[in-house]
Amino acid sequence: MANAVRLLRTTFSHEKSISWFPGHMMSGLREMRDQMRTVDLIVETRDARIPLSSINKQFEQVIKGKRRVVVYNKCDLAPTSIQPVVRKVMESRNQRTLFTDTNINKSVKQILDVARETAKSDPMRYPQLVVMVIGMPNVGKSSLINALRRTGLNRGKAANTGAKPGVTRTVSGRIRVLDSPAVYLVDTPGVMIPHIPDPITAIKVALTGGIKDNIADDTVLADYLLFRLNRLDHTDYSAVLGINQRTDDISEFLQLLGTKIGALRRGGELDTDKTIQFFLRAFRQGRFGQLCLDELDEPSVTTFFKNNMEDAPLSKNQAQKAKRAAQRQRSLEKARSKNLI
């Protein structure tokens, strides 16, 4: 048993947020909006390890009242104890919530059941049901689609997957996942929030793989992960990593871990990058057990929605851009109504 660590930090402070919104995400949002009139059901996919931080408020404008089910994927990596809490929070916001593990057919079947239920509710309206799968990067949308196809049709992969964010870059064609009733899925690129106002929320998204590692500061991610492991105190991470003590100091920790895994350069100098990547990979692979990085007590939930879901006042430049975008959208809809495009 490793020595108990004297926790020096009760809070984690970081002032610089992370922005990552490449062009394909803006294009993806535009394509989603353009296809929305042909979509019957939205499956909004989030990461169960960050049930609040993986919410993208931009989707609210795109969905605009469409029937939706929220799917918390990767639930095998998060404590089951959070599920009733998250369900209660989301139901208070009129969001039906499911938890899925794409490796288990029974888990994935919940979504097919919702699709069946929707299609059978009005067969004349839904001769075939079109489901659009949306979510932030690396929440497992494409893996979910492949699992739905495997479960519904006993067929192989239809969507490309990868451990890094940004594998899907365009809205896909329709992918059949059920024959009776006929259900088709549309995959979409993961869309990040252009600016995450809370730096700690941005760290959580990056830590779970939602932001490319070269965009985020890996040392900050590792330091926050160490802080959280010490605060949660539910697993002996030092035993998992094979180091002989716990610490709250990131420099000391990296030296201990780097020495253990042999991440040393000539002369015994620590290879910091290699050590950090080993540490982050261990978390992402679930080696530290089931973790939830979001605080789910009532004050924390209220603060999250206040700070992250309410629109901040736009700058003059942002307001002008928003006005031009709205004008383009109105022109597009007007032309479409006259069958000009």
Residue whose structure tokens are 């949660």: 232
Q: What is the mean pLDDT of the chain?
A: 86
Phi/psi of residue 160, each to 5°? -70, 140
CA angle 283, 221, 310 (to 5 degrees): 105
Handedness of CA 78, 79, 83, 86 (dihedral sign): negative
Say what the pLDDT of residue 313 is.
46
Query: Does residue 84 have a cis bond before it (omega within 30 degrees)?
Result: no
Please tell me the pTM assigned to this model.
0.83
* CB atoms closer than 10 angstroms to residue 245: 12
- Asked if pLDDT for residue 48 goes beyond 90, the answer is yes
Say what the pLDDT of residue 170 is.
46
pLDDT digits 0-9 by tens, 122-155: 999 999 999 999 999 999 998 999 999 999 998 7
What percentage of the chain has pLDDT greater than the value 90? 61
Range scoring the smallest mean pLDDT among 31-40, 64-73, 284-293, 322-331: 322-331
Highest mean pLDDT among 12-21, 71-80, 209-218, 317-326: 71-80
Can you give 225-245 as a three-state secondary structure string?
Answer: HHHHHHHHCCCCHHHHHCCCE
- Asked if pLDDT for residue 28 goes beyond 90, the answer is no
- Asked if pLDDT for residue 311 goes beyond 70, the answer is no
Report how far residue 305's alpha carbon sits from residue 14's, in angstroms, rounded to the nearest whole number.
Answer: 20
Q: What average pLDDT does this structure show over 238-261?
A: 93
pLDDT digits 0-9 by tens, 5-19: 555 788 999 988 888
Q: What average pLDDT does this structure show over 263-291?
A: 94
- Asked if pLDDT for residue 191 goes beyond 50, the answer is yes
Range scoring the smallest mean pLDDT among 38-47, 87-96, 181-190, 228-237: 228-237
